[in-house]
Amino acid sequence: MNQVLLIDDDVELVGMFREYLEQEGFRVSCAHDGEAGAREALSGRSAIAVLDVMMPHMNGLETLRRIRARSHMPVLMLTGRGDDTDRILGLELGADDYVTKPCTPRELTARIRAILRRTNAPRGDGDGITISVGKLSMQPAQRRASWDGATLELTSTEFNLLEVLARNAGRPVSKNDLSEQGLGRPMARFDRNIDVHLSSLRHKLGTLADGRSCLQTVYRLGYQLIRD
């Protein structure tokens, strides 16, 4: 699927993004308020939603809550340059990534491609296997994960990051490597994206026999999934 849903009340900006994305081979649908955007996102017609935080009536964060209550589709947030609180809250609510406004259509398109490339990456024969680390089980080809037999409800980015950690279980993985392999882009300076996603994963994963989280921070090295 290459259908992109743009949710933003700025009609002129949406028109510019739409024109560029269509020139790049995407099909585009648009919604100019949160209610309509959430409804269209949940229709299943789009591969990814681009969602602006600042909208009247129902803002982007509430729209994201509605989408995440029923769908794990990738969501890319558009945030203001100084809106660190909204940015972190959006990631905590399940956004896959964010782009800071003002941004160019080229930058937005590159970020969309990075997310979809990881989400829809073709799987080779070797990826038909199950990755098992303690009570964690992952089937990359089906993009399914479970802990002690119970299904894990993960966003596309959380799945990507957990897969990278599972394939490197017992070894620390740097934040930059996680960003490159899990988000498809280098980590920007002062970027807290990886930290927020990993915090969410900690809450969703179970604990080891001694009560510790199986996902550990390794000082100055990154994150590590511990083998139980």
Encode the chain (228 residues) as per-residue pLDDT tens digits: 699 999 999 999 999 999 999 999 999 999 999 999 999 999 999 999 999 999 988 999 999 999 999 999 999 999 987 778 888 999 999 999 999 988 999 999 999 999 998 887 655 555 568 999 989 999 988 889 999 999 999 999 999 999 999 999 999 999 999 999 988 888 877 788 899 999 999 999 988 888 889 999 998 899 999 987
Residues 102 and 136 reside in one and the same domain: no
- CATH (domain of 163): 1.10.10.10
Q: Which long-range contacts (CB under 8 A, 24 or more apart) does 107-114 make?
A: 108/17, 108/20, 108/21, 108/50, 108/76, 109/20, 109/21, 109/24, 109/26, 110/185, 111/76, 111/185, 112/4, 112/21, 112/26, 112/48, 112/50, 112/76, 113/184, 114/183, 114/184, 114/185
Residues 179 and 83 reside in one and the same domain: no
Residues 188 and 80 reside in one and the same domain: no
Beta bridge partners of 150: 147
Last residue of a domain, one of 119, 151, 169: 119
Last residue of a domain, one of 101, 119, 137: 119
Residues 29 and 108 reside in one and the same domain: yes
Residues 196 and 110 reside in one and the same domain: no
Query: For the whole model, what pTM was predicted?
Result: 0.85
The residue with tokens 């680390």 is 133
Rounded-to-integer distance, Cα 87 and Cα 157, Å: 15
Structure tokens at 210: 């001694």
User: What domain range includes position 170?
Assistant: 125-225
Residues 115 and 26 reside in one and the same domain: yes
Last residue of a domain, one of 64, 95, 119: 119
